[in-house]
Amino acid sequence: MRGTPIEVIFQAKGARIAYFEWGERNDPVVFLIHATGFHARCWDQTVAALPSGLRIVAVDMRGHGRSEKTGLMRDWTVAAQDIGELVAHLDVKGAIGAGHSMGGHSLIQIAAAHPDAFKRLVLVDPVMLAPEIYANPHLTALPPGTLHPVARRRNAWASWQDMFDAFKDRHPYSLWRPAVLSDYCRYGLLPAADGNGFELACPPEIEASIYTGHAGTDIYALAARVDVPVVVLRAKTREPGLRNLTDFSASPTWEGVAGSFRHGRDVYLPHLTHFIPMQDPELTARFIVDENAAPT
């Protein structure tokens, strides 16, 4: 079991970016990027399952966790640019990169822009939709004037325990490892601006803006440039249709994603939801340390 990480603030060109670090500076690096609406400390239980002798860096994307909130985030390149600057600042070379959901999508962008930074990638349900969706964005667009449901998330809490108690029996949080849900709540709140209680570290309006599209990048063109082994972990396949876009009991990732990489491997995990690291951090850790790991 690792101790408390060191928290560091990095000044990127566009925002202050927080990251957390375990291990020694000269150890091999594992670089972790969280999902939309989450934060770096959601990786704590995965980190605890990793072997010793690793330097682990987990970053809060802009708008999330302890990183700066700079407004809406409809362009998915923004967070990747921030983290790419951090990768360059830390002189990351030959690391293992792991990203969950939008974090995996961002990791592809970073690996394409910094080809020496990673020797291997683990993409945990990286929200790469079928290519025809990008060619026809209206297929997943919300009707004009429609507010994304995430924008209505509860944003006032008495404590992290209050949040934990509200979520622990709700699907899909009820499927999570309790320790992961505890980390999600404990580190996912900040003191409220009005001084009364706590509010979400990723404001609902920012989280909602991220879900409005995958603007700003041709992710499949970037995937084709990644010349290192890539493992894609996919949860059970989601049924097509707009009504399912917020159903994270299944995977939003296209079944053919692994084939878009030069050295891609698909690992199908139909017993898990999109929240793979939350349900099984040990399995996630196993794929991080062993590119040939089996699902069971």
The structural domains of the chain, with segments of one domain joined by +, span 6-151+214-289
Q: Residue 96 has what DSSP assignment?
A: E
Total residues belonging to the chain: 296
User: How big is the CA angle at 147 (ends 146 and 150), to the nearest 5 degrees?
Assistant: 145
User: Rounded distance, CA 296 to CA 26, Å?
Assistant: 32
* pLDDT single digits (tens) 77-130: 999 999 999 999 999 999 999 999 999 999 999 999 999 999 999 999 999 988
Percent of the chain predicted with pLDDT > 70? 92
Average pLDDT over residues 134-161: 77
Residue 231 confidence (pLDDT): 98
Residue 214 confidence (pLDDT): 59
* Terminal-residue alpha carbon distance, the chain: 23
CATH number of 6-151+214-289: 3.40.50.1820
Residue 134 confidence (pLDDT): 78
Q: Residue 52 has what DSSP assignment?
A: S
User: Rounded distance, CA 75 to CA 213, Å?
Assistant: 8
Percent of the chain predicted with pLDDT > 90? 78
CA distances from 18 to 11, 36, 78, 207 (A): 9, 15, 15, 18
Residue 242 confidence (pLDDT): 43
Q: Higher-confidence residue: 8 or 244?
A: 8
CA distances from 46 to 17, 130, 156, 174, 222 (A): 22, 29, 28, 18, 27
* pLDDT single digits (tens) 171-187: 999 999 999 999 999 99
Q: Higher-confidence residue: 144 or 271?
A: 271
Q: Higher-confidence residue: 241 or 5?
A: 5
Residue 151 confidence (pLDDT): 87
**List of residues 6+ apart from 258 with CB closer than 8 A:** 230, 231, 232, 264, 265, 266
* pLDDT single digits (tens) 181-230: 999 999 999 999 999 999 999 999 999 998 876 556 789 999 999 999 99
